[in-house]
Protein backbone atom coordinates (compact mmCIF):
# COMPACT_ATOMS: atom_id res chain seq x y z
CA UNK A 1 0.00 0.00 0.00
CA UNK A 2 1.11 3.54 -0.63
CA UNK A 3 2.27 5.47 2.42
CA UNK A 4 3.90 8.76 3.29
CA UNK A 5 5.90 9.29 6.46
CA UNK A 6 6.76 12.60 8.06
CA UNK A 7 8.83 11.48 11.03
CA UNK A 8 8.77 14.79 12.89
CA UNK A 9 5.45 15.78 14.44
CA UNK A 10 6.79 19.08 15.79
CA UNK A 11 9.86 21.10 14.92
CA UNK A 12 10.98 24.34 16.56
CA UNK A 13 13.56 26.57 14.92
CA UNK A 14 14.83 30.05 15.64
CA UNK A 15 13.97 32.83 13.26
CA UNK A 16 16.73 33.12 10.67
CA UNK A 17 17.87 29.54 11.11
CA UNK A 18 17.72 26.97 8.34
CA UNK A 19 14.94 24.39 8.14
CA UNK A 20 14.58 20.88 6.82
CA UNK A 21 11.34 18.92 7.04
CA UNK A 22 11.56 15.26 6.20
CA UNK A 23 9.27 13.21 4.00
CA UNK A 24 9.65 9.59 3.00
CA UNK A 25 7.26 7.63 0.83
CA UNK A 26 6.56 4.05 -0.07
CA UNK A 27 5.08 3.67 -3.52
CA UNK A 28 5.17 0.93 -6.11
CA UNK A 29 5.22 3.46 -8.90
CA UNK A 30 6.87 6.64 -10.10
CA UNK A 31 5.53 9.28 -7.75
CA UNK A 32 4.42 12.84 -8.08
CA UNK A 33 5.39 14.75 -4.94
CA UNK A 34 4.00 17.83 -3.28
CA UNK A 35 4.40 19.96 -0.20
CA UNK A 36 1.41 21.86 1.16
CA UNK A 37 1.24 24.32 4.03
CA UNK A 38 -1.72 24.94 6.30
CA UNK A 39 -1.94 27.93 8.60
CA UNK A 40 -4.45 27.79 11.46
CA UNK A 41 -8.00 28.05 10.14
CA UNK A 42 -6.79 28.08 6.56
CA UNK A 43 -6.88 25.65 3.67
CA UNK A 44 -4.00 23.76 2.09
CA UNK A 45 -1.70 25.94 0.04
CA UNK A 46 0.64 24.35 -2.48
CA UNK A 47 4.28 25.19 -1.77
CA UNK A 48 5.93 23.20 -4.52
CA UNK A 49 5.61 20.14 -6.71
CA UNK A 50 7.71 17.55 -8.49
CA UNK A 51 6.54 15.61 -11.51
CA UNK A 52 9.73 14.91 -13.44
CA UNK A 53 12.99 16.50 -14.53
CA UNK A 54 15.29 18.43 -12.24
CA UNK A 55 15.14 16.78 -8.83
CA UNK A 56 15.66 20.07 -6.99
CA UNK A 57 12.48 22.10 -7.20
CA UNK A 58 11.84 25.65 -6.12
CA UNK A 59 8.59 26.77 -4.60
CA UNK A 60 6.92 29.80 -3.17
CA UNK A 61 8.05 31.70 -0.08
CA UNK A 62 11.69 30.69 -0.57
CA UNK A 63 11.14 26.95 -0.07
CA UNK A 64 12.81 24.21 -2.05
CA UNK A 65 12.68 20.43 -2.02
CA UNK A 66 14.86 17.68 -3.39
CA UNK A 67 13.59 14.38 -4.74
CA UNK A 68 15.96 11.53 -3.97
CA UNK A 69 14.70 8.37 -5.59
CA UNK A 70 17.35 6.16 -3.96
CA UNK A 71 16.18 7.29 -0.51
CA UNK A 72 12.47 7.58 -1.37
CA UNK A 73 12.58 11.06 0.08
CA UNK A 74 11.34 14.52 -0.76
CA UNK A 75 12.62 16.79 2.01
CA UNK A 76 11.57 20.41 2.24
CA UNK A 77 14.19 23.07 2.99
CA UNK A 78 14.43 26.77 3.61
CA UNK A 79 17.74 28.55 4.26
CA UNK A 80 16.34 31.19 6.61
CA UNK A 81 13.03 30.81 8.41
CA UNK A 82 10.71 33.74 9.07
CA UNK A 83 8.21 33.95 11.94
CA UNK A 84 5.40 33.86 9.35
CA UNK A 85 6.49 30.36 8.30
CA UNK A 86 4.99 28.93 11.48
CA UNK A 87 2.31 26.52 10.23
CA UNK A 88 1.68 22.84 9.59
CA UNK A 89 3.40 21.30 6.57
CA UNK A 90 2.12 18.29 4.69
CA UNK A 91 3.95 16.10 2.22
CA UNK A 92 1.67 14.43 -0.33
CA UNK A 93 2.30 11.83 -2.99
CA UNK A 94 0.39 10.72 -6.05
CA UNK A 95 1.06 8.42 -8.95
CA UNK A 96 -0.53 7.86 -12.31
CA UNK A 97 -0.84 4.16 -11.56
CA UNK A 98 -3.03 4.90 -8.55
CA UNK A 99 -5.43 7.32 -10.13
CA UNK A 100 -5.47 10.95 -9.22
CA UNK A 101 -5.74 10.80 -5.47
CA UNK A 102 -3.10 12.12 -3.11
CA UNK A 103 -1.81 10.28 -0.06
CA UNK A 104 -0.78 12.66 2.70
CA UNK A 105 1.72 12.42 5.47
CA UNK A 106 0.64 13.16 9.04
CA UNK A 107 2.07 16.66 8.91
CA UNK A 108 4.84 18.51 10.73
CA UNK A 109 4.00 21.49 12.91
CA UNK A 110 6.66 24.17 12.63
CA UNK A 111 7.15 26.61 15.47
CA UNK A 112 9.43 29.60 15.01
CA UNK A 113 10.99 31.24 18.04
CA UNK A 114 12.32 34.76 17.99
CA UNK B 1 -5.73 34.27 -8.68
CA UNK B 2 -8.41 31.62 -9.18
CA UNK B 3 -9.27 29.64 -6.09
CA UNK B 4 -11.47 26.86 -4.84
CA UNK B 5 -14.19 28.15 -2.55
CA UNK B 6 -16.13 26.16 0.02
CA UNK B 7 -19.26 26.96 1.98
CA UNK B 8 -20.05 27.01 4.80
CA UNK B 9 -16.78 27.41 6.65
CA UNK B 10 -18.26 25.74 9.72
CA UNK B 11 -21.39 23.63 10.13
CA UNK B 12 -22.84 22.12 13.25
CA UNK B 13 -25.45 19.41 12.81
CA UNK B 14 -27.26 16.88 14.94
CA UNK B 15 -26.50 13.21 14.59
CA UNK B 16 -28.73 11.59 11.99
CA UNK B 17 -29.28 14.78 10.02
CA UNK B 18 -28.32 15.23 6.40
CA UNK B 19 -25.68 17.78 5.47
CA UNK B 20 -24.55 19.15 2.15
CA UNK B 21 -21.12 20.68 1.81
CA UNK B 22 -20.62 22.94 -1.15
CA UNK B 23 -17.63 23.72 -3.30
CA UNK B 24 -16.96 25.86 -6.33
CA UNK B 25 -13.87 24.47 -8.10
CA UNK B 26 -11.62 26.55 -10.30
CA UNK B 27 -13.56 27.23 -13.47
CA UNK B 28 -11.38 25.50 -16.08
CA UNK B 29 -10.64 22.47 -13.91
CA UNK B 30 -12.05 19.11 -14.89
CA UNK B 31 -11.29 16.82 -11.93
CA UNK B 32 -12.83 17.30 -8.51
CA UNK B 33 -12.10 15.73 -5.15
CA UNK B 34 -13.19 15.57 -1.57
CA UNK B 35 -10.77 14.89 1.27
CA UNK B 36 -11.31 14.96 5.00
CA UNK B 37 -9.13 15.53 8.02
CA UNK B 38 -10.31 14.29 11.39
CA UNK B 39 -8.81 16.42 14.15
CA UNK B 40 -5.25 15.33 14.81
CA UNK B 41 -5.18 12.86 11.95
CA UNK B 42 -4.00 12.76 8.35
CA UNK B 43 -5.78 14.28 5.39
CA UNK B 44 -7.59 11.35 3.76
CA UNK B 45 -8.92 10.94 0.24
CA UNK B 46 -12.67 10.38 -0.04
CA UNK B 47 -13.66 10.56 -3.68
CA UNK B 48 -12.70 11.84 -7.11
CA UNK B 49 -15.12 12.94 -9.79
CA UNK B 50 -14.67 13.43 -13.50
CA UNK B 51 -16.98 13.77 -16.46
CA UNK B 52 -20.04 13.70 -14.20
CA UNK B 53 -19.23 10.46 -12.50
CA UNK B 54 -17.19 9.10 -9.64
CA UNK B 55 -13.81 7.94 -10.90
CA UNK B 56 -12.49 6.60 -7.61
CA UNK B 57 -13.62 6.37 -4.00
CA UNK B 58 -12.06 5.25 -0.77
CA UNK B 59 -13.35 2.78 1.80
CA UNK B 60 -14.55 5.74 3.86
CA UNK B 61 -16.92 6.80 1.10
CA UNK B 62 -19.77 4.42 1.89
CA UNK B 63 -23.47 4.58 1.00
CA UNK B 64 -23.99 7.47 3.39
CA UNK B 65 -21.92 9.71 1.13
CA UNK B 66 -22.73 11.03 -2.31
CA UNK B 67 -21.35 13.68 -4.62
CA UNK B 68 -22.97 15.72 -7.29
CA UNK B 69 -22.18 18.43 -9.78
CA UNK B 70 -25.65 19.94 -10.06
CA UNK B 71 -24.65 22.71 -12.45
CA UNK B 72 -21.58 24.02 -14.25
CA UNK B 73 -19.95 25.47 -11.19
CA UNK B 74 -20.86 23.68 -7.95
CA UNK B 75 -19.60 20.38 -6.60
CA UNK B 76 -21.32 19.03 -3.50
CA UNK B 77 -20.74 16.36 -0.90
CA UNK B 78 -23.81 15.00 0.86
CA UNK B 79 -23.79 12.96 4.02
CA UNK B 80 -27.21 11.37 4.39
CA UNK B 81 -27.33 10.55 8.07
CA UNK B 82 -24.43 12.03 9.96
CA UNK B 83 -22.61 10.19 12.71
CA UNK B 84 -20.41 11.59 15.44
CA UNK B 85 -17.36 10.19 13.68
CA UNK B 86 -18.13 12.27 10.59
CA UNK B 87 -16.92 15.31 12.52
CA UNK B 88 -13.91 16.54 10.56
CA UNK B 89 -12.57 19.22 8.25
CA UNK B 90 -13.70 18.49 4.71
CA UNK B 91 -11.59 19.82 1.86
CA UNK B 92 -12.63 20.17 -1.73
CA UNK B 93 -9.93 20.18 -4.41
CA UNK B 94 -9.73 20.44 -8.16
CA UNK B 95 -7.17 19.80 -10.86
CA UNK B 96 -6.99 20.97 -14.41
CA UNK B 97 -5.75 17.69 -15.84
CA UNK B 98 -5.38 14.13 -14.84
CA UNK B 99 -1.93 14.39 -13.27
CA UNK B 100 -1.51 18.00 -12.28
CA UNK B 101 -1.35 19.78 -8.96
CA UNK B 102 -4.44 19.92 -6.81
CA UNK B 103 -5.76 23.23 -5.54
CA UNK B 104 -7.60 23.02 -2.25
CA UNK B 105 -10.35 25.09 -0.73
CA UNK B 106 -10.31 26.52 2.78
CA UNK B 107 -12.29 23.62 4.11
CA UNK B 108 -15.60 23.14 5.92
CA UNK B 109 -15.39 22.18 9.56
CA UNK B 110 -18.27 19.79 10.24
CA UNK B 111 -19.22 19.18 13.84
CA UNK B 112 -21.78 16.47 14.55
CA UNK B 113 -23.36 16.66 18.00
The pLDDT profile of chain A, 114 residues, written as one tens digit per residue, is 789 999 999 999 999 999 999 999 998 778 899 999 998 878 899 999 999 899 999 999 999 999 999 999 999 999 999 999 999 999 999 887 777 789 999 999 999 998
Return the pLDDT at B12: 98
Residues of B in contact with A46 (CB under 8 A): 101-104
Which residue, among B30, B57, B96, B101, would best test binding to A if mutated, counting the most A CBs under 10 Å from its CB?
Answer: B101
Question: pLDDT tens digit string along B25-71?
Answer: 999 999 999 999 999 889 999 999 999 999 999 999 999 999 999 88
Q: Which of residues 93-112 of A touch B (CB under 8 A)?
A: 94, 96, 99-107
The 8-class DSSP code of residue B34 comes to E
A2 closest CA partner among A90, A73, A97, A103: A103
Does residue A90 sit at the B interface (CB-CB below 8 Å)? yes
- pLDDT at position B37, please? 94
Cβ-Cβ pairs closer than 8 A, A with B, add up to: 57
3-state helix, strand, coil in chain B (%, to 5): 5, 50, 45
The CB density around residue A84, as the number of other CB atoms within 10 Å, is 10
pLDDT of A43 = 86
Burial category of B110 from C-beta neighbours within 10 Å (exposed 0-12, middle 13-18, buried 19 and up): buried
> 10 Å Cβ neighbour count for B52?
7
Per-residue DSSP letter, A52: S
**What pLDDT is stored for residue B55 in this prediction?**
92
pLDDT at residue number A27: 83
Q: What local confidence, expressed as pLDDT, does residue B13 receive?
A: 98
Amino acid sequence: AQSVTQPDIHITVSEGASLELRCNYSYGATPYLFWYVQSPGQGLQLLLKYFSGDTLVQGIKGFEAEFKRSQSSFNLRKPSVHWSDAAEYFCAVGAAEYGNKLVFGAGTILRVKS
Amino acid sequence: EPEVTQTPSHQVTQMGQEVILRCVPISNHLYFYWYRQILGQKVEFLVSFYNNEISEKSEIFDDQFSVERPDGSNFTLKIRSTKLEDSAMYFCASTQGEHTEAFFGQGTRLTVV
